[in-house]
Amino acid sequence: MVAVASSIERAAAGIKSSAVLDFLRKPKQLLIDGKWVPAKSGKTFQTFNPANEEVLALAAEGDRADVDEAVKAARRALEGKWSSIGPHQRAGYLLRMADLIEKHVDELATLESLNNGMAISLANRMTNGAASTFRYYAGWATKIYGETNPSDPSMFNYTLREPVGVCGQIIPWNGPISMFSWKIAPALACGNVSVIKPAEQTPLTALRLGELLLEAGIPEGVVNIITGYGETAGAAIAEHPGIDKVAFTGSTEVGKLILRASTGNLKRVSLELGGKSPNIVFADANMDECLPTSLSGFTTLSGQVCCAGTRVFVQRDFHDEFVERLTTRAAQAKAGDPLDPQTTIGPLVSKEQFERVRGYLDIGKKEGAEPKLGGDVRKGKGYFVDPTIFTHVRNDMRIAREEIFGPVASVIPFKDENDAVLQGNDTTYGLAAAVWTNDVRRAHQVARALKAGTVWVNCYNNIDPISPFGGYKQSGIGRELGKQSIDLYTQVKSVYLKL
């Protein structure tokens, strides 16, 4: 314990918030059936601060046996107390949760930044966004309707929209608080129960949110939190015969494993996967807006964003000037201390990601792309990578096809609208895309032609819980957020009554 305590002092050096320090010092256990318990195996794993590589905490290493307990508790809640709780009361829990998140926004954002490395300003925005998501789905709880159908006069036929049941929810490390809200809020609004597994790199904020859910009065067993590894705890969730639906956000590779594992009991599956999103810039665009937004499009969260605009397509005549101007701006945007309010780019989340990005920078150079800016990772403590801009990239190079998940963009010229759309769509992914132009006809035509779940016109990375988010092609199955999430978390029953 002494070793852990001194490690916390080093890992969270400079943190004054007693709420954050108190939380870090507490044991990190699993939430099962409304109680905090150690993993049955007694095992724990280390979680780090990626800005200084120090151990921030030990978390319980849940595995199959803990998932089993959590699924039993969830099933009991679903078939017991939770099923008798009406929509107004469910809305009440979600509203209280939104209030609690806002009340603790500084603490949550600091924890998120410490564990993930994200810039504190972004952590604050994303935490407030999570409160909005809880509030938005609180509104839905009382507005989930069935229908009466125009049946034969001898019949009365109506539909009921019912919860899917026990939901297994597996979330990634990029935006842990945000991802928790996207999964838990709609699931509970629709009357489901959850077994949720945060990513191994970032278990902490999910645990703090678990405490807040209990404070909001959520009955025991409705939300169970299992920290642990994907290959064990995650795989157990994906396969579990007692889980009715699995919702996953993460890599396309693991998404395919989840889909395969779901066949045992034909779980409902929704997947939010990777992307290689095109950001298409026409020469007539407003450059004062386009340049800073295109930069943040691939550097926000150090580029560890599924919808990052990493392929920047620029109209040929304007390409060289655009590259100059983007490079000048990007050169000023260095990665720095994530807890400094002025910082816009923090470190990458882990050593693994750091090595992965370093690998892609080498691959890009070997393939013949030229780093106009950057091109290497930083030396020293912490997983810092400054922005890299590659030119002389062909759309068939690996750096233009594969998800790098670092602050790395490839700038590629295009001839005209048709060429921009052809190149933009030439990818196995289809999560997001953007088009910059002042020509309204062209904006709508290109938005229609792009094969992506979200298209931004003259903006980037805007996400609001009112609007669906998800992928075309190998970027996923299903849509989260908006009313589409209500479809994911409900199933329809048709009732015939003979008159």
Active-site positions read 272, 306
Contact 202, 47 (CB under 8 A): yes
Pick what 403 binds: Mg ion, ligand NAP, none; C-beta below 5 to 8 Å, kind-dependent: ligand NAP
Structure tokens at 122: 């972004």
Tell me: does residue 478 bind ligand NAP (CB under 6 A): no
Tell me: does residue 197 bind ligand NAP (CB under 6 A): yes
Tell me: does residue 200 bind ligand NAP (CB under 6 A): yes
Residues 352-391, mask of contacts with ligand NAP (x by CB under 6 A):
-x--x-----------------------------------
94 vs 261, which CB is nearer to ligand NAP?
261
202 vs 437, which CB is nearer to ligand NAP?
202
| Closest approach of ligand NAP to the CB of residue 479, in Å | 15
Within 10 Å of residue 415's Cβ, how many Cβ atoms? 12
Characterize the bridge pairing of strands 166-170 and 155-163: unpaired
| Closest approach of ligand NAP to the CB of residue 347, in Å | 15
| Closest approach of ligand NAP to the CB of residue 316, in Å | 30
Question: In terms of DSSP H, where are the helices of 204-318?
Answer: 204-215, 235-239, 252-261, 287-299
Query: Of 206-245, which residues contact Mg ion (CB under 5 A)?
Result: 230
Could you tell me which residues come within 8 angstroms of residue 115 by beta carbon, excluding any fewer than 6 positions away? 47, 48, 49, 56, 176, 201, 202, 203, 204, 205
Tell me: does residue 172 bind ligand NAP (CB under 6 A): yes
E strands, 292-374, are 311-315, 370-373
Edge-to-edge strands, sheet with 35-37:
35-37, 30-32, 223-225, 193-197, 166-170, 245-249, 268-272, 476-477
Tell me: does residue 490 bind ligand NAP (CB under 6 A): no
Give the count of alpha carbons within 13 A of 360, CB side only. Answer: 25
Residues 275-314, mask of contacts with ligand NAP (x by CB under 6 A):
-------------------------------x--------
- Give the one residue of 58, 257, 447, 449 binding ligand NAP; rule: CB under 6 A: 257
Structure tokens at 275: 């992307």
Pick what 274 binds: ligand NAP, Mg ion, none; C-beta below 5 to 8 Å, kind-dependent: ligand NAP
Among the candidate windows 107-115, 254-262, 453-461, 484-492, which touches ligand NAP by CB under 6 A? 254-262
Could you tell me which residues come within 8 angstroms of residue 447 by beta carbon, excluding any fewer than 6 positions away? 435, 455, 457
165 vs 230, which CB is nearer to Mg ion?
230
Tell me: does residue 135 bind ligand NAP (CB under 6 A): no
Rounded CA-CA distance 268/263 in Å is 9
Tell me: does residue 336 bind Mg ion (CB under 5 A): no
- Give the one residue of 11, 91, 195, 273 binding ligand NAP; rule: CB under 6 A: 273
Query: Rounded to whole angstroms, what are the CA distances from 8 to 17, 55, 58, 175, 377?
Result: 13, 7, 10, 22, 26
Structure tokens at 79: 């078939």
Could you tell me which residues come within 8 angstroms of residue 247 by beta carbon, excluding any fewer than 6 positions away? 167, 168, 169, 170, 183, 187, 269, 270, 480, 488
Characterize the bridge pairing of strands 476-477 and 268-272: antiparallel
Contact 495, 158 (CB under 8 A): yes
204 vs 254, which CB is nearer to ligand NAP?
254
- Give the one residue of 163, 250, 278, 303 binding ligand NAP; rule: CB under 6 A: 250
Rule CB under 5 A: which residues touch Mg ion?
230
Rule CB under 6 A: which residues touch ligand NAP?
170-174, 197, 199-200, 229-231, 234-235, 238, 249-251, 254, 257-258, 273-274, 306, 353, 356, 403, 405
